[in-house]
A = this chain, B = another copy of it.
Amino acid sequence: MSAAKEILERLAGDSLPDWHLVESALRRKTLASGECLFLVGVAHPVVYFVKSGVIKMVYETYDGDAWVKAFAAEGRFFASIAGLSPGGVTSFSAVAACSASVESLPYHLLDQLGDKHPQWQRALRKGFELYGFRKEARERDLLTLSAEERYQRFIEEYPHIAERVTDRDIAGYVRVTPVALSRIKARIKLRQMDDRLDI
């Protein structure tokens, strides 16, 4: 059975009708590390589901830095919400942070299914609710934690992602430069050694 279906039905709390429509619209794509799924600033009303690997969503600034908005690993849906609504364009790019495979689905199909079946509308609503919940947490981390705390939390919370992406990308997620991240790691290691000596 499709992993995506299972996740959506858990969201809806119900079985989802017309799944065959999803099945036939679904496109599978395999990506090498560094390969781009979509670029910032384009109309792209598509929702993705990660089958394997890690996708990073990045904001590129005018002066060439790339900050990592979020990672999506196996079992996660993602999309640029700004790029979903008619006339909207994506607000970030999506790039494979390691070799990955994804499934894609045109958003208008989900929208139609939502209008047709309350179960689907509910699944979508719960999906956005969950998205809002996650964004709240990310916003809180960016507002209230120091760079070092954000790094520590990231590797504790997402070890399965941390071990597969480069330190450079982790730095982009923590919102420091790779140089600063290297210093932070050295600082933590030093402190751990001190702690051991203190016993």
> What is the interface of chain A, defined by CB distance below 8 A to chain B?
59, 61, 65, 67, 69, 80-82, 84-85, 91-92, 114-115, 118, 121-122, 124-125, 128-129, 131-133, 135-140, 142-144, 175
A125 proximity list for chain B (CB < 8 A):
114, 121, 124-125, 128
Is the beta-carbon distance between A115 and B118 smaller than 8 angstroms?
yes
Identify 12 residue pairs between A and B in the complex whose beta-carbon atoms are under 8 Å apart, listed by A's number: A59-B140, A59-B144, A69-B139, A81-B129, A82-B137, A91-B137, A115-B118, A118-B121, A124-B125, A135-B135, A135-B139, A138-B139
Are B132 and A135 within 8 A (Cβ)?
yes
**With a CB–CB cut-off of 8 A, which chain B residues contact A84?**
129
CA distance A118 to B112 in the complex (A): 12
**What is the distance, in angstroms, from A151's C-beta to the closest C-beta of chain B?**
15
Please, which residues of chain B bring their CB within 8 A of the CB of A122? 114-115, 121
Q: Report the Cα distance A135→B144, complex, angstroms.
A: 16
The answer to whether A132 touches B128, judged by C-beta atoms less than 8 angstroms apart, is yes
Smallest distance from the beta carbon of A136 to chain B beta carbons, Å? 6
The distance in angstroms between the C-alpha atoms of A129 and B2, with both chains bound, is: 25
**Which residue in chain B gives the minimum CB-CB distance to A145?**
B61
Q: Which residue in chain B gives the minimum CB-CB distance to A80?
A: B136
Chain B contacts of A61 at CB under 8 A?
144
